[in-house]
Every structure is written in C-alpha cells, then in structure tokens.
Amino acid sequence: MGIVFWAFFLLLPPVHQSAKILTVCLIGGSHYLLLDEISHNLHQQGHDVHMLLQLGTPVITGFSYTARADSYKRSTWSLGEKYINEYNDWFLEEQTQFLLGRESFNGFLNFMGHLSFQCDKLLEDEEMMTSFQKERYDITILDAFNPCSFILAHRLGIQYIAFYPGPLNGPLSISLPSPVSYVPVFSSHLSDNMNLWGRAKNCVYFLMSSIGEELVWSVFKEVAERHLESGSPPGGLTVLHQGAELWAFNTDFSLEFPQPLMPYTVLVGGLLNKVSKPLEQDLELWISSFGGAGFIVVTLGSMVSSVSVDPLLVELVEGFSRVPQAVLWRYDTHKWPSHLSRPPNIRLFNWLPVNDLLGHKLVRLFITHGGQNSLLQAVYHAVPVLGIPLFGDQFDNLIRAERKGFGVTVKPKHITRELLQTTIQSLIQDFRFKSSALSLSRIHKSHPVPPGLRFTQWVEHILMSGGGAHLRPVSLTQPWYQRYLLDLGLLLCLGLFGPALLWWILCRTKNKTNTHKKTQ
C-alpha cells in the first residue's frame, strides 16, 4: 500500500508557488493584445500579475483597452492629451508615406525617437518607479521590440524575459546561429531559398545589421545614462538583449523558415488564435445574402485605420466592386471621403472580430498588411492571404507567406483595380492556395502544447530554476572574433604561410647578396 501511495504522489504534476510578475506594454495595439493574453494566462495559472500599460497609441480607431473581468491588475501611464495629439499627427503623416511605398530607415529611427522621449518621461515619474520597486517582483516580461522595456527592467532591478512580437530574424544581437546562406536577415525581403545574388545581398544586410542596431541604441543611450545608476551599458543594446533569462518569439515553424535555435529561445506563435465564435445576427444575414460566393476580410492592421491616399483608395474600391464576394473592411468610417461612393458589396467597420471572421465557413480570402498576428490567424484558420505590406517586418512576413504557398503580395504603389481583381480571383479560384493553407493549419494545430500554455510553462521553469543561466551558452559573452573563429583563422594563416614567407624573404636576401658580390 505504501509503494502505491508513493508512486501516485510522484506522478502528480509539480505544485508551483504563485509568483509576482510584471508585464510591460509601452506601445499598445497588437503588442497590447499579445501581452494582455500572456498576462491573463499567467493570472489563470495562479500568479500575481501586474501590467504597466502606456496609453496614447496612435491612430487606432475602435480599439479598446478594457480590462478583463477577474484577471490581472493594471497600472496605466500617459504623456497627456497634447503630446498624444502631436504623436498622432506625426504618425498620420508616416502612414501616408507607407501607403505611397516610401518606408525608410530614417522613418523608423524617428519612431524610435518618439519611443525614447516617452521612455525618458516614464522613467522620470519617481512616484510610479518607487511603487514598482516596492512590489519586489520575481520577474518581468518585456515587449522586446521597445528598447525602453530593457532600460526599465534594469532601473527596477528585476530579472526579465524578452517577448518579441515578430519573427526570429528581428533582434540579431541575441546571437542565434543564423547562416546567411539560408537564413534571411531582417528587412532583406529574401526567402530561405536564395540564389548567388540573394546570398550576396543577405551577406551585406548581415554586415549592416550591427550598424542599424547601433543607430537604434544611439537614440536611447542618453536615456539609459540619465536613469541607470551604472550608466549606459558598455555593450549597449546587445548587452541588454543578452541579459534576458529567456527569449520568446511570436512565431511558429508552420510560418517561419526552419533554422537553428538556442536553448534560451522558444517559439509561442499563435497566442491570439482561438476557436471562432458565432457572428452577430445582422452581419451573418448580410454575409449569407451573397450565397456561395462568400466574403473577404480586409484590414491593414491596428496602426492604420484608414487609407489616406486618395488614388489608392479609389483603386481599392473599384477593385473590390468587381468581385462577387462581400467585402468586410476595417476602415475608420468618419474618414471615408464624401465624394467617393461605396459599392453594395462593401461594408465598413471601425473594428472587426478578425478571428471569428477567419473561422467562418464562408470566408474566402484575407487581405492584410502582413502583421505577424494576422498571418498566424490566417494559418490557424487555413485562409489564403493577399498581402499589402506597409512597414517594418511586414515585407519579410509576407515573403514567408508566399514561400509557404498560401499567399501573394502586392505593394501599395503597384495596386490597380485590374490587378486587384485578377489577384483576388486567382487566390480564391486556384485551390493550391487553399490546400497550402490547410496543410499549414494542420501543422500549426498539431503542436502537442498550445502556445499560451507553452509560454506559461517556460516562465514557470525560469522562476523555479532561479533564472535562465543554464540556457545561455558561453558564446553570448565571447568577443565576436572568437565566436567566428577569426583568431584561430589568423593563427592558422600564420602557421601555414609564415614559414613560406620567411623562406621567401631569406631567399630574396640571399639572391641580393650574391648579386651584390658579382657586381664587385
């Protein structure tokens, strides 16, 4: 009887203690949706979770930061209405440039400049900083896209887990093994199948990436110097990145290109994927009125609420009017141009239940900007996509969708009504796109542990093991020339060519001596 008792006891799952966890969301939009899901999941597992949420996200019509009932705690912070209005005005202008196909690295640095200014003001809030320090959190989970999150964690003196809301090729400074022959560098717009020129381009982007990260850190360096007792870390953003106990990425190998990983990296893509819920009755009736033709979902993401380039908007409307499907379009209804009529097959919504629509039996196509969450939801629900990338990682994300066979990309500046119509018809009528989507969906859903639970279990592992030191290889602290064996290469070159060079010098000296003797 005693043996049976102990066998039963040992087979029970381990009981973990409740931990105090701080989650940090300083951008909002889709970043908030992910961190909200993470925070809620940790709360459901019995942890004491507190989110620091910065309000004032630009140009997000219909978005709600309403807290869930019976969930984690929240503290909100804002720079005030005046700054938020200025920030929104700036972003509206940037949005126009995106839609004209004029995304640039300078624009990205300007965005980082805004985040740096916000960071400085947040860290100056002594009352808030003191209140968080008094809580003595066990760990904090950061939005790793924003460098301010890392500075904040160091200011509070808390161990941190970095959650990156995009693909694996984002933060190159964490030293993942990434052979440039088949792992595309961020913003290279390449797939994993590169020809000679593609590999050459990828190599150039790889060499330039460290310069890009240095430029990003230069925007935050003064903030770190002002607010950290130890000043700005000597290694800058690389040191802050490599100080994370764990890196979790919002991606999955159903969408991501296969590549090597390290023990300190985990993939948790699909946090927002859910079984779809029934639609509201009036929307269901309107969709049903189009019969077997079905419907198309159109959204350019939480950060772009309307198309502010009039010629592009005209082409989109004309193109949509030529297809038999209903078109459900997320668009700020207050910004619809009064001179532009709306075809009967188009309905505008300030906000759409995208997950529920993509899970509907009559959905035929998803037209998206190519955000990581959107593509993962399309994979989960097996819906082909037409991608219209605007900025950031969206171009690279949609390269993956094309390579995986369930999507096609059209840049905004190339859109015409004819091209839009023919591309939509091709994606809906050619079953190869739907077949690829179904195959990827099976791969994604067949993972033995759902992404939300997977991430929670890894957080608990870090908490119970006292940190992630056992997951981090020594390569993270090696100088770059040691990591790439350049010192060994130099030594081998000296060993192989040194004697030959010495012999050549001796022979040359001897010949000169003999020649000199003969002339005498």
pLDDT for 301: 77
**Topology agreement, domain 17-271+450-476 and domain 281-445:** yes
pLDDT along the chain (520 residues), means of 10: 44 64 91 94 96 79 75 91 85 80 82 92 94 94 95 95 91 81 92 94 90 91 91 86 94 94 94 94 94 94 76 93 96 88 93 94 96 96 96 92 96 94 97 97 95 96 94 82 82 81 77 62
* CA 92/CA 58 separation, integer angstroms: 8
CA atoms within 13 A on the CB side of 136: 0
**Residues, the chain, total?**
520
Give the residue from 286, 288, 325, 297 showing the smallest Cα distance to 384: 297
Give the residue from 8, 142, 118 showing the smallest Cα distance to 58: 118
Give the number of other Cβ atoms within 10 Å of residue 498's Cβ: 11
Beta strands in 355-403 (DSSP E): 363-368, 385-387
State the angle between helix axes of 126-135 and 147-156 in degrees (0 to 180), rounded to the nearest 10.
60
Q: What are the φ and ψ backbone dihedral angles of 338, each rounded to 5 degrees?
A: -65, -25
CA atoms within 13 A on the CB side of 192: 17
* CA 293/CA 253 separation, integer angstroms: 32
pLDDT for 11: 45
Give the residue from 422, 272, 423, 232 showing the smallest Cα distance to 359: 272
pLDDT for 516: 57
Please give the radius of gyration of the chain, using alpha carbons only, rounded to the nearest integer: 27
pLDDT for 391: 86
Superfamily of domain covering 281-445: Glycogen Phosphorylase B; (3.40.50.2000)
CATH topology of domain 17-271+450-476: Rossmann fold (3.40.50)
- 354-363 residues labelled b (16+ CB within 10 A) or e (exposed): bbbbbbbebb
What six digits make up the tokens of 96?
């126009």
Q: pTM here?
A: 0.90
Residue 465 amino acid letter? S
Give the residue from 225, 223, 186 showing the smallest Cα distance to 108: 186
Element (DSSP H or E) covering residue 5:
helix 2-11
pLDDT for 507: 80
User: Can you give the residue ranges of every domain in the chain?
Assistant: 17-271+450-476, 281-445
